[in-house]
Amino acid sequence: MNITLPETLAKQLEERVKASGEFQSVEQYVCYILEEVLKQTANDTATGYTAAQEADVKKRLEDLGYLD
């Protein structure tokens, strides 16, 4: 599969890859980003809440004394 990116975005990704020292290529970095997004989406779907919403609910329950 090939995906075409706008030139400005491609340049930003190239700069990130160079600065990070973690990734060997833009492709590797993009795969990492997409995997993280998909994991987060799966987590949000599984609970029905985003991570921020879940944290808010936990904080409210702690404030009410239901959680330690």
Element (H, E) at 23: none
- Is the Cα dihedral 54, 31, 22, 20 positive or negative? negative
Ramachandran assignment for 64, one of left (phi > 0), alpha (psi -120 to 50 degrees), beta (any other)? alpha
- Closest by CA position to 33, among listed 44, 20, 52: 20
Element (H, E) at 5: none
Q: Quick one: pLDDT at residue 45?
A: 67
Average pLDDT, the chain: 89
Instruction: Please state the pTM of the whole predicted model.
Output: 0.61
Output DSSP code: residue 25. Answer: S
Q: Quick one: pLDDT at residue 29?
A: 95
Judged against a pLDDT cut of 80, whether residue 41 lies above it is answered with no
With cut-offs at 50, 70 and 90, classify the pLDDT of residue 32: very high
Sorted by where each begins, the domain ranges of the chain are: 7-63
Q: Quick one: pLDDT at residue 56?
A: 93
